[in-house]
Structure 1
Amino acid sequence: MVNETIIFNASASYSPDGGNITSYEWDFGDGNIANRTEPVINHSYTLVGGYIVNLTVTDDEETRRSVSKTITIMLRGDLNHDGQITSADALIALAIAASGAHHPAADVSDDNRVTSLDALMIMQAAEGTISF
């Protein structure tokens, strides 16, 4: 979700020749790059979208290995994934609440359940004019 902390963990990384990992270079795909000696780092994204996160580990013999993973960052409350909060999202939240299902993007009150309160909060955050 936008502006929420994500924990990136590379502690399962290892050197194939038995050496020690000396650095972890994280490219988060949003223009931010971090070099660390520890395998765990926190990062948050400010914009909705897909990002390719690249991790390059270097061992004590300067051997480098990289791996990439694509992640999708969503806007909390944007249940139809159109990049904005609208009354349509509130209707989707209401349907989720009525079904008793849980959907993290619909739980805008962050109480681990989706209720009509979440639909109301989404409606209040909706962009544009709402007609009844």
Structure 2
Amino acid sequence: MLVVDDNKVIRQLIRVNLELEGFEVVTAADGVECLDLVHRVRPDVITLDVVMPRLDGLETAARLRSDPRTRHLPVAIISACTAYEVDSGVAAGVDAFLAKPFEPTELVRLVRQLMERDDPPSLDGRQGAGAAERAAG
């Protein structure tokens, strides 16, 4: 899990809420740092703020989608979610949106949904078994 936000307080809030649910979380302060980290960290999901210095969340999402190595990574925008941000995010290939301020339970639900989305069925046919194992480990 890679959390990208230029606001340290929000980064920590997201991190703590996800770690309490068993997720491993790495954080980045902007899109440039995200793109530097993504190949080393290999996250299951990336959350992006929109308004950040150096490289904003929408451009970061577009760059993630243009790279074959990160094209299929689930990406969620966590921001004010204005009509412009949503329209631009959809155009950039963003998978989901969560408006600030958010409820921690909504954040966890969204991340779980994105993690389970690409999971192949387990041997007994249940969907999403791998995400639960990754979240627990």
TM-score interval w.r.t. the shorter chain? under 0.3
Alignment TM-score, normalising by the size of structure 1: 0.25
Bigger strand fraction: 1
Q: Name which one, 1 or 2, has greater alpha-carbon Rg.
A: 1
Alignment TM-score, normalising by the size of structure 2: 0.24
